[in-house]
Structure 1
Amino acid sequence: MNNIVVKKYTNALIEEFDKSELKDIIKNLELVTQAFKLNKFSAIVNSPVVAAQKKEELVFSLLENISDKFRNFLRILSQNKRLGLIPEILAGLKTKLASLNNEFIGKIYSKDEINNSQIKAMQDSLSKKFGANITLEYVKSEYNGIKVDLDELGVEISFSVDRLKQDMSEYILKAI
């Protein structure tokens, strides 16, 4: 359910604000999202005991140069007891804006180290294939092979060493 609510708030931001305003909003939402990493801040914002106005004041104290429209947006979040969704709204907003600009971020999973030139080659190849600007981030994992995940495009490409060994064994057994 949170996902649907987050999408509604994200779409509202995109519809009501222009690109320059959205950049300022993203900066401010990033500040608040950083504050959520502090247990005390998160506890206050999510507490049913603390008054909504006090929560608003706390959030506003973190922000710089906010417009009245954005201030009203945050008040609506507060009144609906959804200030805790700010990190998810930020992530949704970044994803939506990247999609509108035809830019996508993916992840490369592998237990082997992948150097920058290999990442750049994969980025260029995928960008050309999908006709979009694709940026890849390397994530060290226990995956025995390479897996590229582009969630926003619904694409997952993988090459598993274990799967290759299994397929080769099956092929050899069939040939015998």
Structure 2
Amino acid sequence: MQHELIAKRYIKPVMDSFDGASLENLATLLGVVAKAYEDEKFNLIMNSNEVSDSAKCQLVLDMVASANSSAVNNLIKLLAENGRLSLIPTLSSLLIREIARTKRTFTGRIYSNNVVDQASVETIARDLGTKMGATISLSYVASDFDGVRVEVDDLNVEINFSKSRLNAQMVEHILKAI
């Protein structure tokens, strides 16, 4: 959580410093570096007190050298100077979310204990996207939820259709009508 709070301080200047295509490229580059943080040997190097900060910085700079961008290099150097190279995975995920928010393109999941076919998933995504004024892509996740639950985290949207709740509401409605 603390990493995210610190990383958020870097996101706004990054968003202001790069144009759309450059932001996408930066997100891809940071994603590659973030993937390296999943490797145990890479983490040993990055967390080692025996490896100098300049060597750690150079390692990450070599990973992003294909971009041939002084702005990307300056970002990496700034992170290294402040001892914040470990923020790169968090920066990567925050940057991807900010780009999606800017483009109004979001991803979400549909949970159900019944299989939901791809056509239904696409229909729900399209209809929900129309209501929210965004482009939404959903993926089906098998779960033990008795009904259907749709979640789009970055939009803070959660919709539930529970069979047990529907049955309880129908019984309540019938009892009120009597």
- TM-score, normalised by the number of residues in structure 2: 0.87
RMSD of aligned alpha carbons: 2.1
1:4 aligned residue? 5
Matched, 1:57 2:58: yes
State which drifts further: 42-51 or 55-64. 42-51
In the TM superposition, what is the alpha-carbon distance from 1:121 to its structure 2 partner? 0.5
Indicate the residue corresponding to 1:123 in structure 2: 125
CA offsets per residue over residues 16-69 of structure 1, 9 Å max, x none? 111121122122112112211211112322334432111112212222123111
- Supply the distance in 2 between the matched residues of 1:47 and 1:175 (Cα, whole angstroms): 71
The number of residues matched between the two structures is 176
Report the equivalent of 1:28.
Answer: 29
For 1:86-128, what per-residue CA distance to the aligned partner results, in whole angstroms no more than 9, with x for missing partners? Answer: 1111111111111111212222122322211011110111111
Alpha-carbon separation, structure 2, partners of 1:73 and 1:130: 34
1:37 is paired with a residue whose SS is: coil
Counterpart of 2:77 in structure 1 is 75
CA distance in 2, matches of 1:159, 1:48: 53
Relative distance call for 1:139 and 1:6 in structure 2 (3 A) is: farther
TM-score when scaled to structure 1? 0.88
Q: Contact 1:107–1:137 (CA<8 Å) still a contact in 2?
A: yes
Gaps of 5+ in 2: none
Question: What secondary structure, in the 3-state scheme, does the structure 2 residue paired with 1:73 have?
Answer: helix
Contact 1:42 1:84 in 2 (8 A): no
The whole-number CA distance in structure 1 between the counterparts of 2:132 and 2:40 is: 41
Which residue of 2 is the match for residue 91 of structure 1? Answer: 93
